[in-house]
Structures are given as C-alpha cells and as structure tokens.
Amino acid sequence: CDLRPEWANLPCRVQPGGQAASGPELPVTVTTYDMHQQTRVVTEKTNAATLRTTTTTYDSAGRAYETSVAVASGLGSAVPTRIGASQLRDSAGVAPASLRRVGKTVAHDPTAAR
C-alpha cells in the first residue's frame, strides 16, 4: 500500500475487475490514511481525470473534525465543508444536550435541559 507498512491490510486502492466494453470508464478509488489509520484523503479517478477528492481532518481526540469534497469541473458543484460534532462542544468539551436547525446552521439551544 504505497510502500507504507503501517497501512498493511487497509484498502488503499479499490478498482473494478475490468472495464465495460462500452460506456464510461469505471473509477478507481485511492485512499490515504493518517498515523492512526483513519481515512485522510479519498480520491476517485479515471485514466482521464480525478473525479472527486474527499478530505477529512480530525481533532486531537481522533474525531472527524471537518470533511470537504472537491469535484472536477463539469461534474456539478462542490459540497460545502461539513463541520464535525466535535466542533459543537463547549469549552469544557461537553456536547450540547440539544441542537436546533436555523436555516442551514445548527445552533446550540442553551435552554434545553442536560
């Protein structure tokens, strides 16, 4: 796996057994990992181009902190960055008891009982 012994037994490259005789080329998925064997970057590509790249960052406790998706031009628009639940914790690291959706924003409801 990319000559990385620490990634042994992890799926680094997933590809079809063969391409169809006609139609679009099936993509290959290439995955890289961080030092804790958590998925860092997932790239979907064909021989012609990279179709989509998904990048995940983690906080110091190993929780997914942020996920972003970049797409090739002509394939639609990029997905907005997703904020992980660990960012919704208060200064003591406690997750809020209740969340409410305000438009496209998720907000903490401080009046909710814990």
64: exposed, middle or buried (Cβ count in 10 Å: 0-12, 13-18, 19+) = middle
**7, amino acid identity:** W
pLDDT by residue (tens digit) across 45-61? 998 889 989 999 998 88
Mean per-residue pLDDT, 13-36:
90
The residues facing 2 across adjacent strands are none
**What pLDDT digit, counting tens, does each position of 67-108 carry?**
888 887 776 665 565 555 545 555 555 555 444 444 444 444
Report, as an integer, the average pLDDT of 34-41. Answer: 91
